[in-house]
């Protein structure tokens, strides 16, 4: 069996991290067997090297090694790619084609991004793992294959199983042995070594002097999070090698090439904002509906009192607050300033005495069916009034309405209320 150091030199693996060494030792031990292996780790940690090491240190090393990126093959053609198809099996199938499992018979097949496989393909793959059998698309003939499967994924498989996106039985068949590669942020002692190796490679490739990092730049390099892992570190080394004339790199210059770690989480933040935004929308709609229902009930109550009463003055005094709520404070203000003003122009209706008794409940039902304002108009009016009361201060208006400023800004834009500026 090849030594650990020999494996590193042969496959260009750099580093002495304990987690990395343990993973490679496990790789060497399983290489001589035919058991399935699942390689897990974040994107960019170098998972593609593991199946090559396994294949080259197994008795299958003289047979074919095929690497398949499951995430790059369209769902409609992946069965055909993996298992082959018969002529005429589907539109465009002009001839019989062998799939990867047939081509890799006796060798090793590497299924990268196996977590992206559609569920029907997962069923076919499970059969291959359990019995070594598969059927081409459009065929009824069962074929055998003696292929070792090494899979890799950066997906959290336990979460994918819980969400129904990956079969639990297939996961346990694939992960007979599970090998985890540590992310670069857990290999701090290896980061400078990797950067020097990449800088040396690019210096030779582009025929220029090699980059040199000062002490502060090395410290920055080591403490950076490296969400893209080794792939990101390599890209940064190549960018600086090509773009910078100065070969001695300080921390300030290096920092200009490193993305802000806080900017690497937009999806989570946007999702939270969308959920909050939806919640605010729902709250303001509920508020509008409740207010409309309350106004209708008040109007019903006032109308019934007017119908049953012959004394308009008494009704006005008794329901002063209710009249202000329905018709606005301006009604009472005008009544005080102008004695001839009648707050309720329905006095003629009150004076009228019908010859037949009035069905109060039928009248109430008629009023309830008539909506004085649409939902959108009611919402617009609430926003206008709140902005007016807060003198255009949107923060105060949003607080009064019980919604977020973000939602209020969007509503202002929707209803073209931008002429109401903050003081």
SS3 370: coil
Task: Please give the average per-residue pLDDT across 407-414, as a whole number.
Answer: 81
Indicate if the pLDDT at residue 20 is higher than 90.
yes
How many CA atoms lie within 13 Å of 160's alpha carbon, on the beta-carbon side? Answer: 19
Res 82: pLDDT: 96
In 3D space, the residue among 370, 388, 38 whose CA is nearest the CA of residue 178 turns out to be 38
Going by pLDDT thresholds of 50, 70 and 90, the confidence category of residue 133 is very high
SS (H, E, C) 50-99: HHHHHHHCCCCCCCCEEEEEHHHCCCCCHHHHHHCECCCCCCCCCCCECC
Q: Identify which of 151, 169, 153 has the alpha carbon closest to the alpha carbon of residue 161.
A: 169
| Weakest-pLDDT range from 105-114, 141-150, 406-415 | 406-415
71 and 117 Cβ atoms separated by less than 8 Å? no
User: Using an 8 Å Cβ cutoff, are 130 and 90 in contact?
Assistant: no
Residue 285: pLDDT band (50, 70, 90) is confident
Per-residue tokens: 372: 């004085």
Structure confidence at residue 249 (pLDDT): 94
pLDDT score for 276: 54
Alpha-carbon distance of 227 to 269, in angstroms, equals 17
> Hey, what domains does the chain have and what are their CATH numbers?
4-182 (3.40.50.300), 185-263 (1.10.8.60), 268-372 (no CATH)
Q: Comparing C-alpha atoms, which of 191, 187, 262, 183 is closest to residue 220?
A: 191
More confidently predicted of 329 and 306 = 306
Whether the pLDDT of residue 177 is over 90: the answer is: yes
Q: Which of 151, 193, 192 is nearest to 172 (CA)?
A: 151
Q: Can you tell me the distance from the alpha carbon of 93 to that of 114, in angstroms, rounded to the nearest whole number? A: 25
**What's the chain's Rg over C-alpha atoms?**
37
**Percent of the chain whose pLDDT exceeds 90:** 57
Q: What is the pLDDT of residue 247?
A: 92
Q: Is the pTM of this model over 0.85?
A: no
Dist CA 197 CA 11 (whole Å): 14
What angle (nearest 5°) sits at the alpha carbon of residue 56, between those of residues 52 and 45? 25
Strands annotated E in 260-396? none
Q: How far apart are CA 46 and CA 40, in angstroms?
A: 10
Average pLDDT, the chain: 82
């Amino acid at each position: 069996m090849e030594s650990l150091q020999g494996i590193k030199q042969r496959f260009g693996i750099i580093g002495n991290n304990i987690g990395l060494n343990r993973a490679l030792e496990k790789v060497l031990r399983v290489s001589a067997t035919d058991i399935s292996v699942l390689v897990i780790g974040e994107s960019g940690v170098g998972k593609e090297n593991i199946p090559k090491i396994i294949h080259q240190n197994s008795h299958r090393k003289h047979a074919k090694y095929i690497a398949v990126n499951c995430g790059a093959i369209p769902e409609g053609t992946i069965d055909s790619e993996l298992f082959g198809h018969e002529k005429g099996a589907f539109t465009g199938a002009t001839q019989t084609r062998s799939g990867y499992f047939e081509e890799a018979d006796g060798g090793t097949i590497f299924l990268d991004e196996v977590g992206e496989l559609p569920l029907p393909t997962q069923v076919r793959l499970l059969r291959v793992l359990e019995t070594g059998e598969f059927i081409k698309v459009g065929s009824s003939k069962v074929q055998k294959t003696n292929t070792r499967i090494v899979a890799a994924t950066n997906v959290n498989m336990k979460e994918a199983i819980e969400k129904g996106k990956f079969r639990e039985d297939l996961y346990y068949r694939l992960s007979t042995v599970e090998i985890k590669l540590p992310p670069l942020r857990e290999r701090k002692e290896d980061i400078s070594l990797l950067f020097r190796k990449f800088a040396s490679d690019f210096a030779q490739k582009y025929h220029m002097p090699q980059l040199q990092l000062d002490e502060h730049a090395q410290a920055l390099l080591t403490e950076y999070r490296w969400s893209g892992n080794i792939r990101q570190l390599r890209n940064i080394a190549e960018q600086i090698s090509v773009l910078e004339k100065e070969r001695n790199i300080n921390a300030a210059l290096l920092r200009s090439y490193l993305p802000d770690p806080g900017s690497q989480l937009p999806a989570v933040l946007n999702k939270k904002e969308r959920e909050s935004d939806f919640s605010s929308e729902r709250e303001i709609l509920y508020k509008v509906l409740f207010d409309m229902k309350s106004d209708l009930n008040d109007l019903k109550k006032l109308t019934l009192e007017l119908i049953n009463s012959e004394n308009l003055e008494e009704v006005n005094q008794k329901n002063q607050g209710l009249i202000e709520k329905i018709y606005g404070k301006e009604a009472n203000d005008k009544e005080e300033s102008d004695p001839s003003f009648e707050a309720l122009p329905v006095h003629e209706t009150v004076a009228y005495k019908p010859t037949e008794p009035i069905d109060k409940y039928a009248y109430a039902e008629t009023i309830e069916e008539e909506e004085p304002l649409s939902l959108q108009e009611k919402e617009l009016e609430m926003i206008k009034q709140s902005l007016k009361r807060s003198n255009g201060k949107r923060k105060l208006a949003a607080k009064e309405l019980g919604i977020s400023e973000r939602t209020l800004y969007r509503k202002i834009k929707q209803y073209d209320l931008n002429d109401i500026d903050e003081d």
